[in-house]
Amino acid sequence: MKRVLSIAGSDSGGGAGIQADLKSCAALGCFGMSAITATTAQNTITVTDIHEIPVSHVEAQIRAVLDDIGADAIKTGMLSSAAIIDTVATTLQSYRQPPLVVDPVMISKSGAHLLRPEAVESLKERLLPLATLITPNIPEAEELTGLRLTNEEDRSKILEALKELGPQAVLLKGGHADSDQSVDFLYDGNRVVAYPAARIETRHTHGTGCTLSTAIACYLARGETMEEAVRLAKEYLTQAIMHSEQLQIGQGVGPVHHGWNRG
């Protein structure tokens, strides 16, 4: 069984973060492992509190997993602070690195800031150059590049600017776009591949970014090419969103249905 390590925050509501990552791993037949960077008091409505884990313990978690079990892919989610980012980057650099998917989590669905503003530069300088793939949504891409996306020409500039930050490939997610379809764009420095999907009318989209990045990591761990891993992961997420109405969890932005494919 392929092993996937998630380095991310904990969502007490179970819809995003480490909880969503482990559910995605299980649904896709991978063995999920975790290094928790922060715990959040969170539900479908809001984030009421955030507690950062000491950096020494973040490092200890990563080393405990990699020294014994190892990993066929790693993904990062909520990293919260510059100190945590530096610790994660330094620790990962001391190992032979499998595919690394970086989800540059900045703001929760409820609007809570999950990355300190001063940590953005650390993310750009320390972690993004180590990434096999980064998966920003449009607001995150704009924050990382200082550019604004209003048309197709802007999108090309943003993809180029994101690639110049050092990752091997960029997946610009289209969920925040004002369009009938949600189109994600994969760019490896040579070509752009578009992944369109019908926009699904539902309020249950909590954890979509976590789920997609973890699913991509799972498929990369299983040996798929980057293009195929993104395609399969987007298909899995689309179905998870479509089946979210079966759950009806919480009073706010509910989670997607990670186990839709497990009956």
Q: How far apart are CA 17 and CA 25, in angstroms?
A: 12
For residue 151, CA distances in Å to 133, 157, 178 come to: 23, 10, 11
181-187 and 170-172 beta bridge pairing:
antiparallel
Check residue 150 and give its pLDDT.
Answer: 86
Q: CA dihedral defined by 142, 92, 79, 225, rounded to 10 degrees?
A: 50
| Catalytic (active-site) positions | 173, 205, 207-210
Q: What's the topology of domain 3-253?
A: UDP-N-acetylmuramoyl-L-alanine:D-glutamate ligase (3.40.1190)
- How much is the pTM? 0.96
Provide the residue-wise pLDDT of the chain in tens; the chain has 263 residues.
999 999 999 999 999 999 999 999 999 999 999 999 999 999 999 999 999 999 999 999 999 999 999 999 999 999 999 999 999 999 999 999 899 999 998 876 666 677 888 899 999 999 999 999 999 999 999 999 999 988 888 999 999 999 999 999 999 998 666 667 789 999 999 999 999 988 888 889 999 999 999 999 999 999 999 999 999 999 999 999 999 988 989 999 999 999 999 86
Check residue 110 and give its pLDDT.
Answer: 60
47-52 and 73-76 beta bridge pairing:
unpaired
Q: How far apart are CA 200 and CA 180, in angstroms?
A: 9
181-187 and 192-198 beta bridge pairing:
antiparallel
Check residue 171 and give its pLDDT.
Answer: 98
Check residue 112 and give its pLDDT.
Answer: 67
Check residue 174 and give its pLDDT.
Answer: 86
Could you tell me the residue ranges of all domains in the chain? 3-253
